[in-house]
């Protein structure tokens, strides 16, 4: 299974001369500032509103604190997802004022999302996520009905999908678009343009509430998933398939089976939380292997030449005749 690099080579050469390493660092700093500011605004604003509402109805303070109570609530989950809009704002400012390029240039060679790639990425990950959940169930068959009622699940389905799309698209445009594209313009080695954004993306998923072994297994699984996302961008020169794959992965946890207590407000089922006690080192190794194998299977589904879900390269050049 070989990958034609033509689409990616066009993508990596598309930045203008203003995409220097200092400007890339400045743009990244701008994104971090706006992401942090948006997160703090919605976090403290939402917590204050939550506290005021709790006090007005005479409810006792949550046992874990007001902020933790807010974050664990359905509105809190939606608010956290909305905070990722700060990444989009920061990227727009960085691309417009630091690099002098349209934000759409980060999406792909055509400056448009490949919707066929998006759909294929979504389907492929939903298939492998189903396999992953079956294997995890065989490992730990503790699954209970989630806290959300079925009518509420249908009511919040579209908002959750929309806000999850906001979240995953902002992460993809930052890590597999802005950083990967900018570094690939300056450096030939994938050890720089692929590895550095992947490591940064993976490190952001460290959980202080999980045991070291579980943290290691989760990070290994996420690193494999980051490799998958990078490979499909390399194969297509477009973020569309990465959007779909990332969306399928996150929606499985948000809406179907949650493995995290902090994000189980809308899931139909709740499995044993990864941040909880009772996991052994052997369990952690098996969980990591499941994540890695499912990511490899997704790569096969999306890149094997005989796969019906094989993604196609975005070889469109902006400005060419249609």
Q: Where is pLDDT greater, at 47 or 237? A: 237
Least confident of 8-17, 168-177, 192-201, 262-271: 262-271
pLDDT at 322: 39
pLDDT at 46: 75
pLDDT tens digits for 200-219? 999 988 877 677 888 888 89
Task: Select the more confidently predicted residue: 269 or 70.
Answer: 269
pLDDT at position 311: 96
- In tens, the pLDDT along 124-170 reads 999 999 999 999 988 888 888 888 889 999 999 999 999 999 999 99
What 8-state DSSP symbol labels residue 62? Answer: P
Sole residue written with tokens 């052997």? 282
Q: E strands along 80-214, which residues?
A: 143-145
- pLDDT of 60 strictly over 80: no
Strand partners, 15: none
Q: Which residue has the higher pLDDT, 196 or 214?
A: 196
- pLDDT for position 26: 97
Average pLDDT, the chain: 89
Tell me the pTM. Answer: 0.91
Top pLDDT among 319 and 55 is at 55
Instruction: Name the β-bridge partners of 269.
Output: 145, 257
HSE of 321 in the Cβ direction (CA atoms, 13 Å)? Answer: 0
Sign of torsion, CA 211 213 218 223? Answer: positive
Per-residue model confidence as pLDDT tens digits over 239-286: 999 999 999 999 999 999 998 877 788 899 998 888 777 788 888 899
236: nearest Cα among 126, 103, 121 = 121
CA distances from residue 300 to 231, 307, 322 in whole angstroms, order as listed: 11, 8, 32
Q: Are 172 and 289 in contact (CB under 8 A)?
A: no
How far, in Å, are 109, 123, 239, 313 from residue 318 at the CA level? 7, 28, 16, 15
Task: Give residue 321's pLDDT band: very low, low, confident or very high (50, 70, 90).
Answer: very low
Whether pLDDT at 221 is above 90: yes
CA-to-CA distance for 15 and 179, rounded, in angstroms?
12
**Does position 32 have pLDDT exceeding 80, yes or no?**
yes
Q: Are strands 269-271 and 143-145 parallel, antiparallel or unpaired?
A: antiparallel
Helix (H, G, I), strand (E, B) or coil at 295: helix
Cα separation, 52 vs 288, whole angstroms: 42
Q: Give the chain's count of helices (H) and strands (E).
A: 13, 3
In this model, does residue 307 exceed pLDDT 80? yes
Give the pLDDT of residue 66.
Answer: 63
- Tell me what pLDDT residue 220 has: 92
Is-contact 250 163, C-beta < 8 A? no
For 156, the token pair is 């919040």
Determine if residue 164 is left, alpha or beta; phi over 0 gives left, psi from -120 to 50 gives alpha, anything else beta.
alpha
- Residue 143: strand, helix, or coil: strand
């Amino acid at each position: 299974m070989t990958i034609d690099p033509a689409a990616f080579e066009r993508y990596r050469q598309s930045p203008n001369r203003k995409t220097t390493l200092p400007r890339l660092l400045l743009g990244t700093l701008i994104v971090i500032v706006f992401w942090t500011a948006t997160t703090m605004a919605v976090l403290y604003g939402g917590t204050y509103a939550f506290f005021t509402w709790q006090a007005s109805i005479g409810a006792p303070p949550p046992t874990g604190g007001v902020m933790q109570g807010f974050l664990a609530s359905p509105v809190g989950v939606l608010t956290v997802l909305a905070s990722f809009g700060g990444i989009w704002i920061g990227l727009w400012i960085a691309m417009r004022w630091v690099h002098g390029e349209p934000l759409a240039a980060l999406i792909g060679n055509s400056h448009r999302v490949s919707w066929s790639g998006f759909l294929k990425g979504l389907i492929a990950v939903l298939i492998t996520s189903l396999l992953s959940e079956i294997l995890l169930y065989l490992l730990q068959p503790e699954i209970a009905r989630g806290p959300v009622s079925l009518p509420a699940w249908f009511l919040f389905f579209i908002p959750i999908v929309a806000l999850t799309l906001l979240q995953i698209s902002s992460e993809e445009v930052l890590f597999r678009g802005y950083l990967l594209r900018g570094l690939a313009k300056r450096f030939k080695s994938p050890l720089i343009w692929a590895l550095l954004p992947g490591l940064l993306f993976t490190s952001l998923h460290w959980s202080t509430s999980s045991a070291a072994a579980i943290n290691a297994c989760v990070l290994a699984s996420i690193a494999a998933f980051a490799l998958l996302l990078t490979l499909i961008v390399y194969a297509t020169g477009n973020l569309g398939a990465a959007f779909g794959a990332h969306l399928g992965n996150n929606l499985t946890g948000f809406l179907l089976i949650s493995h995290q207590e902090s994000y189980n407000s809308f899931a139909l089922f709740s499995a044993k939380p990864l941040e909880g006690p009772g996991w052994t080192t052997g369990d952690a190794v098996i969980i990591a292997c499941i994540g890695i194998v499912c990511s490899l299977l997704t790569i096969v589904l999306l890149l094997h030449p005989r796969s019906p879900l094989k993604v196609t390269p975005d070889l469109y050049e902006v400005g060419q005749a249609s």
